[in-house]
Structure 1
Amino acid sequence: MRLTRQTNYAIRILMYLAANPDRLSRLGEVAKAYSAPEPFMFKILQPLVSAGLVSTVRGRNGGIRLGRAADEINLREVVELTEESFTMAECFEAGADCPLIYSCELNSALRQALEAFLSTLGRYTIADLTKNKAYLHRTLGIEPAAAA
């Protein structure tokens, strides 16, 4: 299974915010850290806000931050939120015309594989991905809260 760019960047946004918990971040600085266009990142941010994974603060000194603790956001939740489809083969699609659709072992095997994939992601949180905050700060150019 291959994750979309949207899912990849959604996880990156959450990682950035988890690595920078002591202050509000601006979407522009997150986009710059990942060399991504800000309008693209804004599009990805919307479902994260709607789901409560990211919260926004409006105003001149506003910004974004995690909506929940990083250890409460698991990767499965993010993937299921941002991926449009988990179709791994034609037989996963509604209206598939294969005569074996209800008795095919390939369909069963792929469904089990997908569930194993999602189950594994469910065991990891954003906190797990951001344990080395010092490295993330250096790599992403995040300044300490006092200096910001």
Structure 2
Amino acid sequence: MRLTNYTDYALRVLIYLTAKEKDQLSTISEIAEAYDISKNHLMKVIHELGKLGIIMTIRGRGGGIKLALPPEDINIGALVRKTEDDFKLVPCFEEGNHSCAISPICGLKHALNRALIAYLQVLDEYTLADLVVQPDRYRTLLGMNKPDL
């Protein structure tokens, strides 16, 4: 199972916001710079996270983004399910796809389906708070501890 960049970026944004000092706002630019990723891609991710009610976006001068929920209320498995659009590991997972000759008796399809379920169950065991247990170290690695000029 491979996560899309979209889900990866969503997780990175949430990790960043969790590491930030409580109630401080962040900007798309600072997150993009910290991870060296595209602002345009982040804008789409942040828009979706806002629609899902996971982050708050504050517009205008002095605006930014922050978590809308406590980190312990943001489940990683649930987030992955909301941000991934395709859990079809092989073509035969697609409804109505009968292109494989062994599909009616294939044990691989069953094994892959069990693996996917187990994968998501493990992610269900974690919250955002579980991932960011040392926020001060994240702040250092992400360049949040730079002195203001």
Give TM-score scaled by structure 2 length. Answer: 0.90
> Mean alpha-carbon deviation: is it higher for 99-108 or for 43-52?
99-108
Matches within 5 A, 1:120-139: 120-139=122-141
Counterpart Cα distance in 2 of 1:113 and 1:13: 27
Is the contact between residue 53 and residue 66 of structure 1 (CA under 8 Å) also seen in structure 2?
yes
- Give the counterpart of 1:116 among 115, 118, 121: 118
> Which residue in the other structure is 2:50 paired with?
49
> Which residue in the other structure is 1:32 paired with?
33
> Mean alpha-carbon deviation: is it higher for 96-105 or for 49-58?
96-105
Counterpart Cα distance in 1 of 2:8 and 2:58: 24
Counterpart Cα distance in 2 of 1:42 and 1:28: 10
Matched residue pairs, number?
A: 146
Equivalent pairs: percent with the same residue?
39
Instruction: Return the letter of the residue paired with 1:66.
Output: L
> Which residue in the other structure is 1:63 paired with?
64
Counterpart Cα distance in 1 of 2:86 and 2:13: 21
SS at match of 1:8: helix
Instruction: Return the letter of the residue paired with 2:135.
Output: K
> Deviation of residue 30 (structure 1)?
0.7
In the alignment, structure 1 segments of 5+ residues that lack a partner are none
> Deviation of residue 27 (structure 1)?
1.1
> Deviation of residue 99 (structure 1)?
5.4
> Deviation of residue 59 (structure 1)?
1.5
> Which residue in the other structure is 1:84 paired with?
85
Give TM-score scaled by structure 1 length. Answer: 0.90
Let me know the Cα RMSD of the aligned residues. 1.8
SS at match of 2:24: coil
> Deviation of residue 103 (structure 1)?
4.3
Is the contact between residue 31 and residue 37 of structure 1 (CA under 8 Å) also seen in structure 2?
yes
Counterpart Cα distance in 2 of 1:69 and 1:5: 24
> Deviation of residue 84 (structure 1)?
1.4
Counterpart Cα distance in 2 of 1:122 and 1:112: 15
> Deviation of residue 101 (structure 1)?
3.9
> Deviation of residue 68 (structure 1)?
0.7
> Deviation of residue 35 (structure 1)?
0.5
> Mean alpha-carbon deviation: is it higher for 11-20 or for 49-58?
49-58
> Deviation of residue 78 (structure 1)?
1.6
In the alignment, structure 2 segments of 5+ residues that lack a partner are none
> Deviation of residue 96 (structure 1)?
0.7
